[in-house]
């Protein structure tokens, strides 16, 4: 059985990839900076491997006896540097296949930084001769879980989204596509754009969450400067704040509405998860105390 190394293993997608791999009988490796603390967060059957993006020696050690890498790292000002380091280590280890969590619209000429950076990483893999398979989802449905506090307290979701529609994508589907690619050579070596089956505004999403939890939920459109200050007050890195605001500019302009759910259906042989199904599955996060 092939051995897989997953970076970003404790994040939304990485943890779900690990869970699904374990469910199919694999015993994947999870790259982490602190194996002791990460171990408690990992599913049974996962082996934590300590390595740091800024330490090539540790990356080389993590790649031993690995057949393929799932490359995931958080949106970060050093994301390109971090992911290039993993690709370089993969090349040194003779690993041919890397499945990368990328983003819809990845392009060197993109108007905003995150898709530009994903494209730069993809281009670097090509220069190394690695068979890269980018998985490019739209905004995660699970992002809405970050609004649980204001939904429960006020029945409101605050976001500078206006009426822009977004084909929100379920994290479980993203992970399932990655796991399917690892198992199927015919899916490797080309990009897979994926999304949920509907393009929804934040107001639409709020209504669907409200229907699931049994009380009204509404979207409150906020000015960009207000959103910027709120994120900074919450302690978010300034680079990341601006990256998120750029994404919302794209969504407000209507560029997040493309639907690529057929690609999920073709790979998984089942429909992409709907937002209604997500809302039902996650409604416990929005339950109000009696």
Q: What is the mean pLDDT of each run of 10 residues along the chain (290 residues)?
A: 94 96 95 82 90 97 96 96 98 97 97 97 97 98 97 97 98 98 98 98 98 97 97 96 97 97 98 98 90
Buried b (16+ CB within 10 A) or exposed e, 230-250: ebeeeeeeeeebbbbbbbbeb
- Residue 41: the pLDDT is 80
> For the chain, how long is the longest CA-to-CA vector?
58
Neighbours of 1 (CB within 10 A): 8
- Phi, then psi, of 142 in degrees rounded to 5: -65, -10
- Residue 164: the pLDDT is 98
- Residue 16: the pLDDT is 97
**Is the Cβ–Cβ distance between 268 and 177 less than 8 Å?**
yes
Secondary structure of residue 156 in the 3-state scheme: strand
Contacts of 181 (CB under 8 A, 6+ apart): 99, 133, 135, 187, 188, 192, 267
- Residue 35: the pLDDT is 80
Parallel, antiparallel or unpaired: strands 68-71 and 97-101: parallel
Q: What are the CA-CA distances from residue 122 to residues 170, 223, 271 (Å)?
A: 23, 34, 28
What domains does the chain contain, in order, with CATH numbers? 4-137 (3.40.50.720), 138-169+195-257+273-290 (3.40.50.720)
């Amino acid at each position: 059985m092939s051995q897989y190394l997953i970076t970003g293993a404790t994040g939304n997608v990485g943890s779900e990839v690990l869970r699904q791999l374990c469910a199919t009988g694999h015993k994947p490796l999870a790259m982490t900076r602190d194996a002791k603390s990460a171990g408690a967060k990992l599913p049974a059957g996962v082996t934590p491997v300590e390595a740091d993006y800024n330490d090539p020696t540790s990356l080389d050690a993590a790649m031993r006896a690995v057949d393929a890498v799932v490359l995931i790292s958080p949106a970060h000002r050093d994301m390109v540097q971090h992911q290039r380091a993993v690709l370089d280590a993969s090349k040194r280890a003779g690993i041919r296949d890397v499945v990368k969590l990328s983003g819809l619209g990845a392009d060197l000429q993109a108007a905003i930084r995150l898709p530009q950076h994903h494209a730069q990483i993809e281009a670097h893999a090509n220069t190394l001769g690695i068979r890269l398979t980018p998985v490019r989802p739209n905004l995660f449905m699970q992002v809405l879980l970050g609004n649980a506090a204001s939904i429960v307290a006020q029945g409101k979701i605050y976001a500078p989204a206006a009426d822009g529609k977004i084909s929100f994508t379920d994290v479980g589907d993203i992970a399932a596509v990655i796991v399917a690619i690892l198992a199927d050579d015919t899916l490797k070596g080309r990009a897979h754009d994926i999304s949920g089956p509907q393009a929804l505004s934040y107001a639409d999403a709020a209504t669907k969450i409200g229907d699931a939890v049994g009380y009204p939920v509404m979207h409150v459109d906020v000015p960009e400067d207000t959103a910027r200050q709120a994120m900074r007050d919450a302690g978010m890195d300034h680079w990341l704040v601006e990256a998120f605001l750029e994404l919302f500019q794209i969504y407000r302009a209507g560029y997040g509405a493309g639907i690529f759910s057929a690609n999920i259906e073709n790979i998984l042989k089942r429909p992409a998860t709907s937002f209604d199904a997500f809302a039902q599955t996650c409604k416990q996060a929005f339950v109000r105390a009696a």
